Amino acid sequence: MTSSLPTAEQLQALERAVNLPEIEALGCARLDQNALEYYASGANDGHTHRANREDFARIHLRPRLLVDVSDVQTKTSVLGLDLDFPVGIAPSAFHGLAHPDAEQATARAAAGLGSVMTLSTFSNTPLEDVAQAAAGRLWFQLYLYRDREVSAGLVRRAEAAGARALVLTVDTPFVGRREANERNRFNLPPHLQVPNAGSREALAGLETQSGSQLVRHFQGLVDPSLNWRDLEWLRSLSRLPVILKGVLTAEDAELAVQHGCHVWVSNHGGRQLDTAVSSIAALPEIADAVAGRAEIYLDGGISRGTDVLKALALGARAVFLGRPALWGLAAGGEDGVRRVLTLLRDEVRLAMALSGKQNMQQVGADLVKL
């Protein structure tokens, strides 16, 4: 059942899980249809959703031998924040569908393992409460609203709460067509709030006999006229670095750098434009365009430590987990998210050792064959 505490037996199954796909199965089994379809759905036929994972398998590693790998170091940093390993939590809405502790559980797990959490505007928990749980390891994801003062207020709240960066999602002028959500009328359960994105009453007022409640709420809030000129206004509100999330082309990466932003390679988990390029396939041209002038991050399809290593070799500074964190949260709350991150951290370290890499500074394009 969604948003219930896991039993002792379920927590034991979580500890026995040896990889992220096994935790995904445990998490999915604990979600009701409404929550599972929301988390799992891709746009239209799901081609991009599947390609995010499948395209990693098409990239091959070129391991080097006879290297002393008795002390492999996975540490890195993002925007001056030290990470124990190059994996963070991507913004995803409505963690309360998975567990009663919602985003606070995810934030505590990330902070406890030296990671970083990116909080979605569409969280079920006020950003100030999540910031406290994140212990200085928080980025805040933002949509620009039609009412710019509301967005400005969110930026000020995020900065005051201690967020270290603003992540502006730029690939969602409209919500992609997630047909399962449309067919079965996705809606939030009555006990969940959306404190950073509108009231419970606003959501209830958008209920109809068909379609996704989220789509109607989103389209009433978010400004589809967002363009490059708006970035100057956003950057004037705060001293926080701005990251553009949703970049898939070299052309837009170049414009992002010109506008003083960092780059997050993402296709929104395959939930927006179906048949768009996968994140990992888009990364090489973006890395070439950025040419070290800004930091690059990536989400989409990460399920193994070798995936992380491939993304870093092709130019990402760190990768971020969307669905895997939610599966862990559903499977075991904070313990489940911690298990996801721990398994991936250990896989990254092993993949580095078997590739002959002693630290992150040695991970480069020579490691992969496209």
322 marked ligand binding residue: yes
Helix (H) or strand (E) holding 83: strand 81-83
Please state, in angstroms and rounded to a whole number, the distance separating the CA atoms of residues 344 and 341: 5
Please state, in angstroms and rounded to a whole number, the distance separating the CA atoms of residues 301 and 49: 8
The contacts of residue 360 (CB under 8 Å, 6+ apart) are: 73, 74, 75, 76, 86, 312
What local confidence, expressed as pLDDT, does residue 89 receive?
A: 98
What local confidence, expressed as pLDDT, does residue 365 receive?
A: 97
- The residue among 196, 225, 321 whose CA lies nearest residue 269 is 321
- The residue among 308, 286, 245 whose CA lies nearest residue 115 is 308
The contacts of residue 267 (CB under 8 Å, 6+ apart) are: 48, 52, 171, 246, 248, 273, 276, 277, 278, 279, 282, 300
Region of residue 50 (left: phi > 0; alpha: psi -120 to 50; beta: else) = alpha
93 marked ligand binding residue: yes
Q: Which residues of the chain have pLDDT under 50?
A: 1, 200-210
92 marked ligand binding residue: yes
* SS3 of residue 77 by DSSP: strand
Please state, in angstroms and rounded to a whole number, the distance separating the CA atoms of residues 193 and 172: 22
Assign domain 8-369 one CATH number from 3.40.718.10, 3.40.1410.10, 3.30.1360.200, 3.20.20.70. Answer: 3.20.20.70
What local confidence, expressed as pLDDT, does residue 211 receive?
A: 58
Please state, in angstroms and rounded to a whole number, the distance separating the CA atoms of residues 35 and 27: 11
Helix (H) or strand (E) holding 306: helix 305-313
Burial of 305 (0-12, 13-18, 19+ CB in 10 A): buried
What local confidence, expressed as pLDDT, does residue 200 receive?
A: 45
For residue 126, give both structure tokens.
């006020």
Percent of residues in the chain assigned helix, strand, coil, to nearest 5: 45, 10, 40
What local confidence, expressed as pLDDT, does residue 306 receive?
A: 98
Please state, in angstroms and rounded to a whole number, the distance separating the CA atoms of residues 116 and 134: 8
pLDDT tens profile 150-178: 999 999 999 999 999 999 999 999 999 99
What local confidence, expressed as pLDDT, does residue 209 receive?
A: 46
Region of residue 356 (left: phi > 0; alpha: psi -120 to 50; beta: else) = left
Sign of CA dihedral 110, 111, 117, 121: positive
94, amino acid identity = F
DSSP 89: E
Phi, psi of 296, rounded to the nearest 5 degrees: -125, 135
DSSP H stretches of helix in 85-212: 102-112, 127-134, 148-161, 179-183, 200-204
Please state, in angstroms and rounded to a whole number, the distance separating the CA atoms of residues 10 and 36: 18
235 marked ligand binding residue: no
271 marked ligand binding residue: yes
For residue 308, give both structure tokens.
């992380």
* SS3 of residue 168 by DSSP: strand
245 marked ligand binding residue: yes
Please state, in angstroms and rounded to a whole number, the distance separating the CA atoms of residues 214 and 182: 10
- The residue among 368, 325, 356, 335 whose CA lies nearest residue 87 is 325
Q: Is the full-model pTM beyond 0.85? A: yes
The contacts of residue 6 (CB under 8 Å, 6+ apart) are: 14, 30, 331, 332, 333, 336
What local confidence, expressed as pLDDT, does residue 206 receive?
A: 40
Active site positions, annotated: 268
For residue 263, give both structure tokens.
């780059």
For residue 207, give both structure tokens.
């209920």
CB 89 within 8 A of CB 319: no
178 marked ligand binding residue: yes
- The residue among 282, 222, 230, 284 whose CA lies nearest residue 261 is 230
